[in-house]
Amino acid sequence: MVPNKRLADKVSIVTGAASGIGRATALLFAGQGSKVAVADVDEVGAAAAVREAGAHDSALAVRLDVSAESSWTNCIETVVARWGRLDVLVNCAGVAVATPVETTSLEEWRRVHAVNLDGVFLGTRAGIRAMRGRGGCIINIASLSGIEVFPGAAAYASSKAAVIQFSKVAAAECAHSANGVRITVIAPGGVKTPMWKTTRLWQDFADGGEEAAWRKLDPQNCFYEPEEIAECVLETC
């Protein structure tokens, strides 16, 4: 169990925080004493997460499209204007599609990479710029599908494999330049979120459906709750 108020006086941004892993992370961070920007394209969901976070002035809904450069500028400026700095950035926003290579359109391929990969690049760059000198940490959420082979999700897997390698290079650059910014990448197995429920990812991979597929490929034979991944994110801060 994580000790209380581990993020006291910290300022965080969690992207994709209107739902699933991002939402669980934002709520955990707020409970651990952080000021949290709940950043998402889903403004209704972000506002609901802020209400759930509860404590006065500890959470703020920010409309963010992670694939748009100008949206990142607005998000960072909003957070710094409100709370004076940025200490922790969790790049969690993501989308999944479940189509075989043969029937994946170029438009769909680009949309998945725009959110999952461009979004992590733009966020990491904005985070490094905001944290340079003061220090901080950036946690990028990839996926086990960026490592293992799940037939039927090539665009998603490609974007997540790229996030893993991108994050390693960015981490090495930060370590080399001693700018005080630490970058981590987490690649969860299957997690019980709306993303998992609304897509038909990997349905043919194992008898018993997606849960069986995830359990089969997960090194610990697990199918996770979003709160478990949120605790893992907190541990890396």
Ligand X SMILES: NC(=O)c1ccc[n+]([C@@H]2O[C@H](COP(=O)([O-])OP(=O)(O)OC[C@H]3O[C@@H](n4cnc5c(N)ncnc54)[C@H](O)[C@@H]3O)[C@@H](O)[C@H]2O)c1
Query: In the complex, which residues of this chain contact ligand X (CB under 6 A)?
Result: 15-16, 18-22, 40-42, 45, 64-67, 92-95, 115, 141, 143, 188, 190-191, 193-196
Select 18 or 60, whichever has its Cβ closest to ligand X.
18
For residues 62-77, one letter each, b for 16 or more C-beta atoms within 10 angstroms of the residue's C-beta and e for the rest, the string is bebbbbbeebbeebbe
Select 133 or 150, whichever has its Cβ closest to ligand X.
150
Q: Is 19 exposed, middle or buried (0-12, 13-18, 19+ CB in 10 A)?
A: buried
Select 182 or 192, whichever has its Cβ closest to ligand X.
192
Which of the residues 156, 166, 202, 214 is marked catalytic?
156
Pairing assessment for the beta strands 136-141 and 181-186 based on DSSP bridges: parallel
Map tokens 């000198």 to a residue: 133
Instruction: Residue 42: name the closest of 12, 59, 20 by CA.
Output: 20
Least distance from C-beta 145 to ligand X, angstroms? Answer: 7
How far is the C-alpha of 93 from the C-alpha of 39, rounded, in Å?
A: 9
User: Where would I find the beta strands (DSSP E) of the chain?
Assistant: 11-15, 35-40, 59-63, 88-91, 136-141, 181-186
Q: Measured at CB, which residue is nearest to ligand X?
A: 20
How far is the C-alpha of 155 from the C-alpha of 160, rounded, in Å?
A: 9
Least distance from C-beta 87 to ligand X, angstroms? Answer: 20
What count of Cα atoms within 13 Å lies in the side-chain half-sphere of residue 6?
13
Select 30 or 141, whichever has its Cβ closest to ligand X.
141
Least distance from C-beta 133 to ligand X, angstroms? Answer: 27
Least distance from C-beta 174 to ligand X, angstroms? Answer: 21
Select 93 or 174, whichever has its Cβ closest to ligand X.
93
Least distance from C-beta 111 to ligand X, angstroms? Answer: 9
Is-catalytic flag, 156? yes
How far is the C-alpha of 14 from the C-alpha of 12, rounded, in Å?
A: 7
Contact 86, 138 (CB under 8 A): no
Catalytic positions, please? 156
